[in-house]
Amino acid sequence: MTSSHDNSGAVEVGLPASTVLPAGVPPLTDQTRAEAREIIARYPRSRSALLPMLHLVQSVQGYVSPQGVALCAEELGLTKAEVSAVATFYTMYRHKPAGTYHVGVCTNTLCAVLGGDAIFDAVKDQAGIGNNETTADGTVSIEHIECNAACDYAPVVMVNWEFYDGQTPQSARALVDALRAGEPPAPTRGPKTLSTFKEVARVLAGYNDGRGAEGVSAGPASLAGLELAKERGDTAPPYPVKGA
């Protein structure tokens, strides 16, 4: 596999070539294959199931392994190259095992202006790893993310796709320490407790964990525009707009 192992924030390229699973990664089982077929049955066209199937693979192995690529290809009647093309296009699919807690740091425009690069450096330094790397104990992995879609709470850090808003280098260091100690703080918004990377991957595969309504989803910063519109009595134009 060709990948970046420096601290620059470069992205990974390609899937692993070796079929030997890294230490501690469980093999896919008949249960995984049965669940993959359950996912396929949800769609009128079988190949539409590929994205959730890749998340299913990650829920077991923590990344998209050659074994996972082969399973998806076999069940969907696709080539391994076709599956790999999808798995390398979408950035939520890992090319090597993610940590129990996968930390994503945004350094896009607004987060960068408010200190995102310093936060990214602090996270890497505290964990002792670079971008797209995982700590030796498997607890934390780090990814540079272009945008976490939470500019109203910038600068933000995500852990397993849950938000930790308004971060500083100091708070980000403390967050990494808590994750490595197995004591993750509750996300700023969303569920009351933080799920592991594999647990979240299973949800993304379409297996509901029943926690979708937990916590706050849209806080005051997100609702400010709506509240202002209400105060001013703003209304949307009639639809369809004439002359549009």
CATH code where residue 129 lies = 3.40.30.10
At 29, give phi and psi (nearest 5°): -120, 180
Whether 161 and 137 map to the same domain: the answer is: yes
> Reduced to 3 states, what is the DSSP secondary structure of residue 8?
coil
How crowded is residue 59: how many other Cβ atoms within 10 Å of its Cβ?
A: 21
Regions of the chain with pLDDT less than 70:
1-14, 16-18, 241-244
Whether 58 and 130 map to the same domain: the answer is: no
Q: How far is CA 13 from CA 21, 31, 54, in A?
A: 19, 30, 17
For residues 124-163, b (16+ Cβ closer than 10 Å) or e, as one string?
A: bebbebbbbbbbeebbbbbbbbeebebbbbbbbbbbbbbb
**pLDDT tens column, 132-185:** 999 999 999 999 998 988 999 999 999 999 999 999 999 999 999 999 999 999
> 11 lies in a domain?
yes
Q: How many CA atoms lie within 13 A of 234 on its CB side?
A: 9
Whether 112 and 92 map to the same domain: the answer is: no
* Domain hosting residue 42, numbered range: 1-97
> 203 lies in a domain?
no
Instruction: Give the count of domains, the chain.
Output: 2
pLDDT at 18: 67
Whether 120 and 150 map to the same domain: the answer is: yes
pLDDT at 238: 83
Is pTM, for the whole model, over 0.75? yes
Whether 11 and 75 map to the same domain: the answer is: yes
pLDDT at 6: 41
CA separation for the pair 135, 133 (Å, rounded): 7
Residues 6+ apart with CB under 8 A from 226: none
Whether 117 and 51 map to the same domain: the answer is: no
pLDDT at 140: 98
> 37 lies in a domain?
yes
pLDDT at 186: 95
Burial class of 185 by CB neighbour count within 10 A (0 to 12, 13 to 18, 19+): middle
According to DSSP H, which parts of the chain are helical? Answer: 30-40, 50-61, 66-76, 80-89, 109-113, 116-127, 169-180, 197-204, 220-232
> 201 lies in a domain?
no
